[in-house]
């Protein structure tokens, strides 16, 4: 299958190439040429993008659910619904994210996601459900239960515990090695050993829901933490005398910072500070979305707890933020219009940076020759027009 995508503004990790064409063959990007060069060869399909932007497919590495479903339901239907909704917002790949829950519930959710990935991989990128295509499930993100009670946020407190290496090894086995990120609090007993064990298996470790001091955080980073889960949220507050995990994450070049750019979780000034300190290479836009994403205000659930969504903000009954209703296309828009980040940098934060953070940058995350043809066409308002996964038009 050969596709010519013409009349596009190509967003690379560093710039926008005006009036260019992209050639896709057998699911891979094979050439990027300007519109003055001749398009030699036969194409099965020619897509005229009408001068819109061509971007790498967005990668949402931290999301719990959307459109009325949640990863913890442990059903194919839930994952299918999430994947179909993601496509409509330009997300071509995502990690299904757990919540703190009883161990048996977590095992069921992990096994279900692993089974889904196996079936997806057997069928290929054109895997269909009820006649519609969907985003690719790239792996699993374990958020919990190894957290600080003091910084639990919306994580159910009755199931929070210290890290357990045997438990983690069991979950990794059940997942068939599809767990890509484990979030934990580095100051907990057993955390440093768990970090070393996870990193030896190639799993990304993220500091999350943590009350760590700056010294405790540094010890965790030295053992292998390379990510901070939704920076500022679920963390000890920054102080000039005790910078804590926030200070450690912001000044250490080894650490990526996830950011929920919805204008609710963080003030624009805080987001600007993160971007200025981490640069365009170390910020990852995430949705942290819950099941209300894509739906109207009302009552929903997260981790068995009632969540009230009002004016896009999802909160527990006590007012604690409980995930978000954000999508990555809007996160990119907000980064440009709310934070003042150049479009190529904002796109990079939702594509190449997450791909690098979870070890997939060799094949995904940027428009480069030889990479997977996971592509999105969107307009000036970052409204998604078309989506291509592995060289197949799916939206």
What is the set of domains in the chain, with CATH numbers?
Answer: 57-363 (3.20.20.140)
Instruction: Note the pLDDT of residue 35.
Output: 79
Dist. CA 13–CA 334, nearest whole Å: 18
pLDDT digits (tens, 9 = 90+) for 344-376: 999 999 999 999 999 999 999 999 999 999 999
Instruction: Note the pLDDT of residue 132.
Output: 59
Q: How confident is the model at residue 127 (pLDDT cuts 50, 70, 90)?
A: very low
Q: Is the pLDDT of residue 31 over 80?
A: yes
Q: 240: annotated binding-site residue? A: no
Q: Are strands 53-56 and 375-378 parallel, antiparallel or unpaired?
A: antiparallel
Residue 36: how many other CB atoms lie within 10 Å: 8
Q: 249: annotated binding-site residue? A: no
Instruction: Note the pLDDT of residue 14.
Output: 86
Instruction: Note the pLDDT of residue 237.
Output: 94
CA-closest candidate to residue 98, choices 73, 127, 135? 73
Instruction: Note the pLDDT of residue 133.
Output: 83
Which residues, including other chains, have CB under 8 Å from residue 78's CB and lie 6 or more apart? 65, 69, 70, 71
**Residue labelled with tokens 């027009």:** 385
CA-closest candidate to residue 167, choices 182, 156, 150, 151? 182
The radius of gyration of the chain from alpha carbons, rounded to an integer in Å, stands at 20
Helix axes 214-223, 191-200, angle to 10 degrees: 30
% of the chain surpassing 90 pLDDT: 92
What positions carry a catalytic annotation?
Answer: 288
Instruction: Note the pLDDT of residue 39.
Output: 58
Q: 321: annotated binding-site residue? A: yes
pLDDT digits (tens, 9 = 90+) for 223-281: 999 999 999 999 999 999 999 999 999 999 999 999 999 999 999 999 999 999 999 99
Query: What mean pLDDT is predicted for residues 139-166?
Result: 97
The answer to whether the CB of 111 falls within 8 A of the CB of 179 is no
Instruction: Note the pLDDT of residue 123.
Output: 80
Q: Hey, which residues does 47 pair with through a beta bridge?
A: 5
What count of residues does the chain have? 395
Instruction: Note the pLDDT of residue 163.
Output: 98
Dist. CA 256–CA 361, nearest whole Å: 14
Residue 111: strand, helix, or coil: helix
At residue 266, what are phi and psi to the nearest 5 degrees?
-140, 140
Query: What mean pLDDT is predicted for residues 142-158?
Result: 97
Q: How many CA atoms lie within 13 A of 369 on its CB side?
A: 5
Q: 143: annotated binding-site residue? A: yes
Q: 223: annotated binding-site residue? A: no
Q: 63: annotated binding-site residue? A: no
DSSP calls for 316-346? ETTS-B-SB---HHHHHHHHHHTS---HHHH
Which residues, including other chains, have CB under 8 Å from residue 306's CB and lie 6 or more apart? 299, 300, 316, 317
Instruction: Note the pLDDT of residue 38.
Output: 57
Dist. CA 135–CA 125, nearest whole Å: 9
Residue 113: how many other CB atoms lie within 10 Å: 28
Q: Is the pLDDT of residue 124 over 90?
A: no
Dist. CA 129–CA 184, nearest whole Å: 34
Q: 242: annotated binding-site residue? A: no
* Mean confidence (pLDDT) of the chain: 95
Q: 233: annotated binding-site residue? A: yes
The answer to whether the CB of 168 falls within 8 A of the CB of 197 is yes
Q: Is the pLDDT of residue 130 over 50?
A: no
H-helix or E-strand spanning residue 302 = strand 298-302
The answer to whether the CB of 255 falls within 8 A of the CB of 246 is no
């Amino acid at each position: 299958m050969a596709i010519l995508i013409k009349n596009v503004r190509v967003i690379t990790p560093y710039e926008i190439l005006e009036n260019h064409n992209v050639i896709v063959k057998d699911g891979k990007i094979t050439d990027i040429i300007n519109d003055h060069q001749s398009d030699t060869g036969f194409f099965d399909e020619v897509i005229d993008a009408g001068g819109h932007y061509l971007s790498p497919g967005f990668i949402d590495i931290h999301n719990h659910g959307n459109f009325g479903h949640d990863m913890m339901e442990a059903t194919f239907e839930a994952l299918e619904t999430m994947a179909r909704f993601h496509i409509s917002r330009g997300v071509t790949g995502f990690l299904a994210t757990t919540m703190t829950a009883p161990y048996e519930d977590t095992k069921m959710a992990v096994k279900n996601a692993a089974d889904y990935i196996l079936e997806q991989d057997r069928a290929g990128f054109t895997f269909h459900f009820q006649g519609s295509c969907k985003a690719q499930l790239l792996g699993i993100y374990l958020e919990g239960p190894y957290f600080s009670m003091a910084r639990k946020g919306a994580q159910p407190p009755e199931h929070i515990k210290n890290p357990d290496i045997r438990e983690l090894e069991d979950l990794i086995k059940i997942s068939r090695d599809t767990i890509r990120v484990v979030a934990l609090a580095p100051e907990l007993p057993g955390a440093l050993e768990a970090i070393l064990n996870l990193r030896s298996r190639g799993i990304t470790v993220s500091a999350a829901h943590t009350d760590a001091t700056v010294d405790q955080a540094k010890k965790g980073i030295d053992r292998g933490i390379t990510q901070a889960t939704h920076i500022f949220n679920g963390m000890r507050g920054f102080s000039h005398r005790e910078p804590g995990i926030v200070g450690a994450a912001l000044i250490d070049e080894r650490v990526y910072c996830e950011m929920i750019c919805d204008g609710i979780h963080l003030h624009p000034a805080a987001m600007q500070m993160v971007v200025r300190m981490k640069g365009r290479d170390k910020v990852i836009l995430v949705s942290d979305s819950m099941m209300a994403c894509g739906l109207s205000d009302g009552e929903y659930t997260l981790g068995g707890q009632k969540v009230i969504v009002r004016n896009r903000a999802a909160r527990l009954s006590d007012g604690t933020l409980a995930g978000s209703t954000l999508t990555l296309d809007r996160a990119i828009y907000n980064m440009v219009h709310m934070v003042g980040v150049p479009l190529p940098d904002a796109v990079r934060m939702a594509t190449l940076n997450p791909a690098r953070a979870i070890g997939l940058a060799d094949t995904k995350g940027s428009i480069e020759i030889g990479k997977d043809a996971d592509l999105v066409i969107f307009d000036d308002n970052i409204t998604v027009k078309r989506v291509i996964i592995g060289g197949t038009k799916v939206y």
